[in-house]
Chains A and B, each alone.
Chain A
Amino acid sequence: MAGMVILWTDFLVFVLVVVTTAFAIYASKKEHLRAPWGRVIRSRTGMGTLVVLCFYLAIGLLDSIHFHPQLPAEEQGGEGKYSTEIISLFDQMVDGLRTRQEKTYSAPLAVYLYAKETIELADGTTVRDFPRLVHGGAHLTDPQQEWLPDVIQRTMLGSLKGIVVSLVLANILFMLISMRSARHFGQVAKEIIAGKTEIPWRVMLMTLTVVLVLLFSAMELARVYHLFGTDKVGEDVFYQALKSIRTGLLIGTLTTLVMLPAAVLLGIMAGYFRGWVDDVIQYLYTTLNSIPGVLLIAAAILMLQIYMSNHAEEFNSIVERADLRLLFLCIILGVTSWTGLCRLLRGEAMKLREIDYVQAATAFGVGHFQIIMRHILPNVLHIVLITVVLDFSGLVLAEAVLSYVNIGVDPTMNSWGNMINSARLEMAREPIVWWSLAAAMVFMFTLVLSANLFSDVVRDAFDPRLRHNR
């Protein structure tokens, strides 16, 4: 695509996807890694939440492909003109949500505006009343009578579509499994429906059905209404909440990706070499750790703001500036959070270097680099993995708090933190404007809860010490 734009965070997202895929292929070939993942796959909680996480991930990835949209043919003049604004593939898919703006607040699924306005009637007289929305429910001629049946009808239609799609998917799944295991279709279907399979297909299908029903109902309703209302400038709240998914995911994943190399390298080095290397690295992380995280982030972001306001000409567009700020936030969050992992790895490397096979390797004259790559690194990977997964939900929650203090992502960027932050001021209004807050909370809660449950499953699968407690 000619108008393609690759932002820094987009690039890192793709790096992350490649790394994850590579790791998955690597893990599937090693027995000691395949066994714990097998436990994850057989866990009902694990697979149920994975479906939800995949749904979030899909939106986040679609939202990470940015480009300049091509202008419509009649405006073009010449050939191949592109607009100056940057949108993502996801924006294009839900174009209506992005462009259908109202004047100001409106409640979820509302037909009328939140504030009264002077309306001119057809006969020339004026009244003060709530005007109809420009887009929300514009297809209704008599909202009083038609609104409720219309909403119910659309919800039913959406649910029906969701159920049909998930039934089709379920049948495809049954067919695939029966083909692979060379058994009868009905027998496989019966086993899955009874929940007797080793891999919890039933839970996955049920979760998928719930997600699809919600998705299709939301799509049906969002087509003609503002599902979660509109905010102060009339932007669709549902769209904002969806766009925030990318920000949340990025903060949760990129931060660990950014800090990982330093934490792994330094942690293993400290534990493996001991002596002065250990002292230096310990000093380094104790110093960084002793600065309260929020204050370090605040100081760094303040400095970035100064830099950006003094060098405004270096940034081509608001999107690019916001993107760089997000990346910088990830880096600085990584700086404040790598010390825990580093300490864990140091301890583990210290234990491993005394183990017989490492001693034997040293006796054979194998170099330090070889020993670390061959013997130490593969044996601490599970710690790295557990930390990455466990940190994720905490980082998503931290984003909201940081945005509240105005040291989070750029104010122009869609994020749950920014939504909550602006909604806080709206709580004092009468009648109360609750929908921005509620939408952000629901989306954030679903993501964090699934991530928490999933990370518990991963931790239990990889950490044998904890397993007997369950």
Chain B
Amino acid sequence: MMAYIIRRILYAIPILVGVNVLTFLLFFVINSPDDMARMHLGMKRVTPEAVENWKRERGYDQPLLVNQSASGTGKLTETIFFQKSLKLFQFDFGTSDSGRDIGYDISQRMWPSLAIAIPVLLIGLLVNITYALLIAFFRATYIDFWSVVLCVVMMSISGLFYIIGGQYLVSKLLHLVPISGYDTGISAIKFLVLPVIIGVIGGIGSGTRWYRTLFLEEINKDYVRTARAKGLSETVVLFRHVLKNAMIPILTGVVVVLPLLFMGSLITESFFGIPGLGSYTIDAISSQDFAIVRAMVFLGSALYILGLILTDISYTLVDPRVRLS
């Protein structure tokens, strides 16, 4: 088991290197730091000195790959590639273009993100599984048919509409919770209720439909027929046999998204003014802060790969039929 995990982690390294090279190409080669500086300074104040100044303040004044003016290892370390890209491997994100410490910002902002993402995931899972089991119980009836129709309709509504509609109805018309904002400690709850509810509702359509397919796939298998044949009631069959076996794909599907919960939800957080990583990313995109976007790309990829590794491990844990290879 240990050897398997280590091998999986080693396999992740070339992928992270690939991501790193790709972001480096995207951010520094396709457009030079000069272009970035000109974009940031605006068209009016572009003088060569201003561009140089802007680059020096942010450490973009070094050569891309090889620094001929430096000596020894400095030839390789005093370059943009080393300073800006390779340092990400140590999770040293450096400073943003506006001069803030990105690592500190991320460590502060991940908690509000988690405060929304974890309840949405757990409550959503509960609601979706319950609903899907209910549909599976009433399969091939009108309840099944209309539930699937409802799911498709809910899937077809844009997530933006749930948020705007929910904010308007609950906050503006009924005045139940504040429209947006955040607070520390226990008083944050009143800001979190609405985003969580909306997140759950927005996920019901696709989630329930997906779980329904999983359950129905299991229901048609031989062991379920055997269970019914030996006289078990339909509820026992559903809960003891079908649910248990369908939990394997459900759990692994959940595990793969677990690490990405840190990243938060872009849209929800920015609509509700919650200072999480999602709104951090959006702010960075709209203020064109490339250092933050670069850091988030790397963080996101690392978390995604972590999710893949965790999925593989959880497969072997919950399903004894899967062999390590």
Contact = CB atoms under 8 A, between A and B. Distances in A.
A283 B11 CA distance: 10
A21 to B, nearest CB: 28
B282 A453 contact: no
Contacts of B294: 299
B285 A407 contact: yes
A196 to B, nearest CB: 22
B135 to A, nearest CB: 12
A305 B288 CA distance: 10
Interface in B162-213: 164, 167-168, 172, 213
A290 interface: yes
Given A420-B160, A449-B156, A287 B22 contact: yes
Contact of A427 (B36, B168, B216): B168
B156 A445 contact: yes
A286 B15 contact: yes
Given A303-B30, A420-B158, A310 B300 contact: no
A437 B164 contact: yes
Contacts of A404: 160, 267
A298 interface: yes
A448 interface: yes
Contact of B293 (A286, A298, A305, A452): A298
A291 B158 contact: no
Given A291-B301, A295-B281, A307-B31, A302 B19 contact: no
A444 interface: yes
B158 A295 contact: no
Q: How large is the interface on B (under 10, 10 to 19, 20 to 34, 35 or more residues)?
A: 35 or more
B297 A295 contact: yes
A445 B157 contact: yes
A429 to B, nearest CB: 11
Contacts of B233: none
B249 interface: no
B285 A298 contact: yes
B111 interface: no
B123 interface: no
Given A306-B36, A310-B38, A469-B213, A401 B267 contact: yes
A288 B305 CA distance: 11
A324 to B, nearest CB: 16
Interface string A302-329: 1101110110000000000000000000
Contacts of A89: none
Interface string A420-457: 10001001000010000100010011001100110010
A215 interface: no
The 10 A-B residue pairs whose C-beta atoms are closest, nearest first, are A287-B18, A292-B300, A449-B156, A448-B156, A290-B301, A290-B304, A469-B216, A298-B285, A295-B297, A306-B39
5 contacts: A302-B285, A306-B31, A400-B158, A405-B267, A420-B160
Interface of B: 14-15, 18-19, 22-23, 26-27, 30-31, 35-36, 38-39, 43, 152-153, 155-161, 164, 167-168, 172, 213, 216-217, 220, 260, 263, 266-267, 281-282, 285-286, 288, 290, 293-294, 296-297, 300-301, 304-305, 308
